[in-house]
Structure 1
Amino acid sequence: MKKLTVLLLVLCTGLVFSTDAVAQKFSGLDKSPADIAYYPASSKETTKAARVIYSRPQLKGRSLAELAPVGKVWRTGANEATEITFYKDATVGGKTIKAGSYSLFTIPGEDEWTVILNNNLHQWGAYSYDSDADVVRATAKASTDSDELEAFGIAFDDEGNLVMGWGTTRATLPISY
C-alpha cells in the first residue's frame, strides 16, 4: 500500500509540473494582421517570381496622409518593415535586382511614390531606416480608384507589377522578371 501511495504521489506531482511547464499565454489578435502577396498569385503556378510579406493597418477614420505622410519614409504597412523576396533576378526602376530578400520602404507623394529596396532586414517600422543600405529607389505612379480600401493592401497585377492601395490611393511599381 505504501508503494502504491508513493507511486500515485509521484505521478500526480509530475502531471502538475508538466502541465505548468507547457502553459502558454498568447496575446490577443494583432490589429494590423500580417499578409502575403505572391507573383504569380495563382496557387496552380508553383514557380513564384516574388513574394511580399507585410502588415495591414486600417484607416479607422484617419487619413492616409496622417498614417503615411507625404515626403517621409514609411515602412509601407504596419509593425515590421515590409519585406519583398525575389526568387529570381528582377528589374525594378531600370536596375537589375539580384534574387534575394529586401526591406521595402516608400515615400508617398501626390502623383508618385518613391519605392526603396533596402538590404537591412528585420527592422521594426522605419525607425532605424538607413539610406546607406538602399539597393534601389524607383518610382511608382500614384492614381486614384473609386473603391475605398479600409485596410492597406499589396498585390501583384497580371504583369507582375507591385500595386499598393489604401483608401482610394493606388501606387503601381513596374517590375519585370
Structure 2
Amino acid sequence: MKNLFTITLMVIALAFSSEAMAQKFSGLDKSPADIASYPTDYKVSEKLVRVTYSRPQLKGRSISELAPAGKVWRTGANEAPEIIFYKDATVGGKAVAAGTYSLFTIPGNKEWTIILNKNLNQWGAYSYQEDADVVRVPASVSNASESLDAFSIAYKDVDNGTHMVLGWGNTRVSVPITF
C-alpha cells in the first residue's frame, strides 16, 4: 500500500512539473522570413549572394499602399533586408565590395531605385540614412501575368551573371548582378 501511495504521488508530481516546464512559443509571424540565395541550386554550397528578408502580403491591398512610389521602402516587412555579397560584384553597373548591406528601394512606375546601405540592423526605413548609401542603381520594372500575394525575391540566370528579381502583385523589378 505504501508503494502504491508513493507511485501515485510521483505520477501526480510529474504531471504538474511537466506543465510548469512547458515552453510557450509565439505564433507565426504574419510576414514570415525568407532567404533568397544565388546560385539557386541547393547542391551548390558556395553562394555568391544571399538576401534575408521578410515577406509582406498584399491581402487585398495595393503595392502603392504598402510601398509608396517615390519614398524609401525597406523592401519587405519588419527589419530592412540584409544582402550579403560573398565576392566583389557589380550591381546595376556599379562596383560593390564583398560584404553585408541593408537593402532599400524607392518604388516607381517605370523604374525602381535599388539602394545598398552600409548601416545594418535597421527596423523598417525609419532609421534609414542616405549618407550611408554605398550604391544607388536604377532597376527596370515589368508586369507579369502571375500575381504574387507575398513579396518575393528570386534570381534569373543571364549571360555573365544573374538578375535579382523582386516580385509582388504583378510587378517585377529586375536588377543585374555580375561577379
1:148 is matched with: 147
How far apart in 1 are the matches of 2:39 and 2:82? 17
Following TM superposition, by how much is the alpha carbon of 1:25 offset from its aligned partner in structure 2, in angstroms? Answer: 2.2
CA displacement 1:21-49 (0-9 Å, x = unmatched): x5432111101100001100001222210
- Matched residues in 2 for 1:134 and 1:26: separation? 37
Local SS of the residue matching 1:29: coil
Q: CA deviation at 1:143?
A: 0.6
**Alpha-carbon distance in structure 1 between the residues aligned to 2:38 and 2:68:** 28
CA distance in 2, matches of 1:37, 1:153: 9
Runs of 4+ in 1 over 4 A off after TM superposition: none
Q: Which runs of 5+ in 2 are unaligned?
A: 1-5
Cross-structure match for 1:124: 123
Alpha-carbon shift at residue 66 of structure 1 (Å): 0.5
Structure 1 gap segments, 5+ residues each: none
Listed one character per residue, the Cα deviations across residues 94-149 of structure 1 (whole Å, up to 9, x for unaligned) are 22111111000000000010000000111111110001110000111001001100
Once the two structures are superposed, residues 57-110 of structure 1 have per-residue CA deviations (whole angstroms, 9 ceiling, x without a partner) of 110000010011000000000011011000000001322111111000000000
- Give the Cα–Cα distance (whole angstroms) in 2 for the partners of residues 112 and 149 of structure 1: 19
Residue pair 1:69, 1:108 contacting (<8 A) in 2 also: yes
Number of the residue aligned with 2:170: 168
1:26 aligns with 25
CA distance in 1, matches of 2:149, 2:19: 42
SS at match of 1:66: helix
Taking only the aligned residue pairs, the percentage that are identical comes to 66
Match of 2:73 in 1: 74
CA RMSD of aligned residues (A): 1.9
What is the identity, as a one-letter code, of the residue corresponding to 2:168? W
72-81 vs 155-164, which moves further: 155-164
In 2, are the aligned partners of 1:52 and 1:83 still within 8 Å (CA)? yes
Give how far 1:56 is off.
0.6
Are 1:104 and 2:111 matched, yes or no? Answer: no
CA distance in 2, matches of 1:23, 1:117: 43
Match of 2:3 in 1: none
Distance 2:58 2:93 in 1: 33
**Residues 93, 136 of structure 1: 8 Å contact kept:** no
Secondary structure of 2:157 counterpart: coil
Other structure's SS at 2:64 match: helix
- Count matched residues: 167
